[in-house]
Each structure stands twice: as C-alpha cells, then as structure tokens.
A and B are shown apart, each in its own frame.
Chain A
Amino acid sequence: MITNAALCPSPPLLYPGMTGRQAVAPELRAACAEAAGRLVRGEPEEIVVVGPAGTTRTWAPASRLDPSQFAAAMASTGTPGLPLSLGLGAMLLDEAGYRGHRRLQAIGQDEPAGTCIRLGAQLGASQARIALLVMGDGSARRTLKAPGYLDPRAEALDSAVESAIRTGDLDALQQLDPILARELMVTGRPAWQVLSGAIRSSRPKTEILYCDAPFGVGYLVAQVQPA
C-alpha cells in the first residue's frame, strides 16, 4: 500500500554544483528537500522512485546519476545510462539521509496511459508500506525564453496538473494526452499517471510546496498522502 508520495521535478540544475558558483533556484531545492524529507520521516518499508525515461525498466538500487554527461568538469561517477529523473530522485533520497530499501523504476516516455496506470496499480497492491517519489516536469514551453520556446497551450496543461494535485483529483491525471504532453515537452506525464494508478483511495490529502516556471519549465513539488 502507498503510505505517502512526493512529486519533484528533475532538472539537471538540481545537482550540486551543476549551476556553477551560484546555486540557482534555492526555493525549488528547499521544496524538493522538504518533500523528500517527509517521505523519509514517514519511515516506509521501501521508497520507489518513479521517473520518466526512454524505456520502462527497473535500475539497481545502488545506481546513481553520472553528472559528467551534463558537466564534463565534474567527475565521471555514477551509473552510465541511468535516466536523469531516477538519478535526481536517488540524489534527493541520499540528501534526505535515506538508507532504507529503494527501488528505481523507469517509466517509458511513450508508454500509453493504461500501461502507466497498471504499473501504478501494481505498486499500490503491494503488502509493504511503500512511499513514492514521483519525478516529473511540466512543460518546457512556458515562456519565450523556455528551452522549447513559448507554446500558448503550455500554461493550461501545467495548471491542470497543479489543480489535479492540489484538489487530490488524481483521476484527472489519467486524462493527460500523451501526444499533447510530448508536443509541449512535458516529461512528467507517464510518472504522474503511475501515481494516479497507485493511489486509488478517495481523495488524498495534498500540499503544493512549489509551483513555478523560473526558467520556462514547469516545476511542481508536492506531497500526496492517501486518505
């Protein structure tokens, strides 16, 4: 059963030192640390990191991000090929001092909603007390200076996701259109649909810890606690 869940984005800039001398977006970092910390403090039997990636598969729990693929000046450490989302999720758990069981579950960026929801349902059916760390980002097309430039549809989609989380209406996440999400460079869609499949109880209690797009990419940090 799912006892708790956290949503965090996965920009490379969260990695320590990645932004150079200045650690940009301190509020975002603090919110992610808080969200991960709440998961850890809940003392689950296992934390499952769910993150979008090229293909659906699990990665060894000891896997870590290799930062050198983004910044060659950084030491080449970690696990070659580990998806960014899982690497940053693992990092957030490390930073929160988590030493318990963990699972790193990649969900394919192109998986249809049904596949994501079924994977979530399998996680939710576990006898163990599981916490989910759901890594995913909103649209990278929120502003003129965004990586994907401005798409006028982007804000509405990000708002719909934020609203679904804020009101605990996780079913709404199941309606996210994979094609539109791809067009808007939304990486979080499959991971959010896993979350939606995992928590099937009546409306969970939720809290938004951060919701903004300081670099034109929608970042959402939240806690979702099943009723």
Chain B
Amino acid sequence: MSPRQAPQRVLRLGSHAFEPDRLLVMAIVNRTPDSFYRPGVTWDPAAALERVHQVVAEGADIVDIGGVPARPGDDVDAAEEIRRTIPFITAVRDAYPDVVISVDTWRHEVGRQACAAGADLLNDTWGGWDPRLAEVAAQAGAGIVCSHAGRLPPRTRPFRVAYRDVVDDVLNVTLSLASRALEAGVEHDRILIDPAHDFGKNTWHSLQVTRRLAELAATGWPVLVSVSNKDFVGETLDTPVEDRLAGTLAATTICAWLGARVFRAHHVRENRHVLTMVSAVRGDIPPARAVRGLA
C-alpha cells in the first residue's frame, strides 16, 4: 500500500497538467562556470543548448536553468545573472515550445525577465529570501518552489545548524512560504514545496528529511526533491562528487516511494529509469514489455 496519506492534486506547469502519479525529472542546466558538479561544463551557450537537447531526449519533463551556483564564490549580481540566463531561456523556448522551463533564482528581477522569456516555474531554492519573487510568479501566471534553506542567506553553507526537529522546521517554513505564495496570487496548483537537502542542513538532517519525506507529501502539496550528487550522499558513502550516482539514485528511490513528485537531477536517464521502476512497482504504470513466462 502506498504510504501517501493526503490527496495529491494535479500539478500545473506551463500548459501541462501533471496527474499525481506522474513522476517528473527536472534536469539541471547550469549557466555557471563554477557549480559543484562538473563545473563549467555548460558555461558555453552552445554546450548548454546541447545539454538541453540531450536531457529532453532522455526524458526530462522540466529544464531548470540557473545562473548562480549555490555555493559561495565570486559575486554574481542580478545583471550578470540575467545576462547568463535570460537569452538562454529564450533560446530554449524557441527550440522547445512545450518543455517546462524553470529558472533557479532567488531574485525577483531575474524571475520577472525569465517569465517574460518563457519560464514557467521559479525555483526559489533559498527559501523566500526575496519576498517579491512570489509576486512575480503570480503576475506571470508561473509556478513557484517553496524551499527550506534553514533561514540561511543565499550562497551560504550551514555552520553547526541545529534543529529540535528538522522535519517540523521544514514543514513550518515551506507551508508558510506556500501560504505566502497563495496570498500573493500564485495559483494553488502551481505551488511546490522542497525540503532542500543540504541547504541549512548537515548530513544527518538531510537523511532525516529523506526518511520522513512522507510527512511532506502528506501536506498535499507536490514535493520537489533535489538530492543529485549532494554532500549528504557523499558524506554517507564517503565518496567524491563524481562517485555519488548510486547514492543519488537510492535517495531518489526512497523519496519517490514516500511521495515526492519532482526530482531535480544531473543524470536524467538514470533518474528516469529509477522513477519508472518506482511507478511500476507501485502499480501506477505497466512494464514496458512483459513477455517473460507469458509466451
């Protein structure tokens, strides 16, 4: 029996309406020279567009475009972030009129231009740091991701962060951001919540969030998880960033089983396979080709 407790709703992104049993891959496309995983690999615009072709072919439902790495580093101001992301969003929209485009930003100035260029979703990883981002989503008819970043400012790392109960805090923060987004006028079925693994969390906290993901799903809001190649995987396995795929997929499997619906990932094909397996085990979809013992 599925551990889901609360009825999940349709999730609307762009012109799409995704039923609750549909598990979505959000492909990461970084327009940065210095993100943590394979830094700079899609810094060149042509390489970035090639990456989009590849992830769409591999089954990505959403393309998440970011111009500022999460980790600390050289300052990237709004103008530079716009320069990195907006022309690229335009190019992706031209190439793929239907794919869901997400922009990974905390700044409302960037969000506004991204929506004008064709973005459907504002992925606010830093937990509502800029409260006007929700207003931008509302005005543009876009969706928004409400994340728990442990109240840290953008681009900072956790330092001895402590929680009486990390899941309670995740629920409090993400639900209050979701309420705020609703009040700002974002459509009910275009709001997601994200516990934001590693953000404002140590490895124990991220493992706990994973273990208790069903509590997030039980809220009825669609849950997005972003676990791909993160430090909590690396610290659990004691592996460097280039050797975290198996751990990533294990965490993805568990989150999917416990009710997450959107999976932000570097390895689209592998995540797609995992999610297809979860959906099949759950009974939501049939196997692709079942002849064994049936002929």
Q: Mark A1-42, 1 if CB is under 8 A from B, else 0.
A: 000000000011000001010100000000000000000000
Q: Chain A residues near B236: list those with CB within 8 A.
A: 20
B144-174 residues at the A interface, CB under 8 angstroms = 156-160, 162-166
Residue tally, chain A, CB below 8 Å to B: 19
The residue on B at minimum CB distance from A11 is B160
Q: Is the interface of A mostly helix, strand, loop or mixed?
A: loop
Chain B residues lying within 8 Å of A72, measured Cβ to Cβ, are 163, 165-166, 204-205, 207-208
Say yes or no: A185 contacts B159, CB within 8 Å: yes
Let me know if B179 is at the binding interface, CB within 8 A: no
B238/A149 in contact, CB under 8 A = no
Cβ contacts under 8 Å, A18 to chain B:
204
Q: Considering only CB atoms, which chain B residue lies closest to A84 in the complex?
A: B160
Docked-complex contact A73 and B159, CB < 8 angstroms = no
A149 x B72 contact (CB < 8 A): yes
Q: Is the CB of A70 within 8 A of B204?
A: yes
Answer whether A149 and B73 are a contact pair too, CB < 8 Å, given A20-B235, A140-B159.
yes
How many residues of B are counted as interface, with CB atoms below 8 angstroms from the partner's CB atoms?
22
B203 proximity list for chain A (CB < 8 A): 20
Judge whether B238 and A148 touch: CB under 8 Å.
no
Most buried by B among A20, A70, A84, A148: A70
A69 within 8 A of B: yes
Chain A positions 139-174 with a Cβ under 8 Å from a chain B Cβ: 140, 146-149
A214 CB-CB contact with B under 8 Å? no
The answer to whether A70 touches B208, judged by C-beta atoms less than 8 angstroms apart, is no
* Distance of A84 Cα from B238 Cα, bound (Å): 26
Q: For residue A73, which residues in chain B have a CB less than 8 angstroms away from its CB?
A: 204, 207-208
Kindly report which residue of chain B lies nearest to residue A85, judged by CB atoms: B160
Give B36 Cβ to nearest chain A Cβ, in Å.
Answer: 10
Is A97 in contact with chain B by the CB < 8 A criterion?
Answer: no
Known: A72-B208, A149-B72. A22 touches B238 (CB 8 A): yes
Q: Give residues in A with beta carbon < 8 Å to B.
A: 11-12, 18, 20, 22, 69-74, 80, 84, 140, 146-149, 185
| Interface set of B (CB-CB < 8 Å, partner A) | 71-73, 156-160, 162-166, 202-205, 207-208, 235-236, 238
**8 A-B interface contacts by CB (under 8 A):** A20-B203, A22-B238, A70-B160, A70-B202, A70-B205, A72-B165, A84-B160, A149-B71
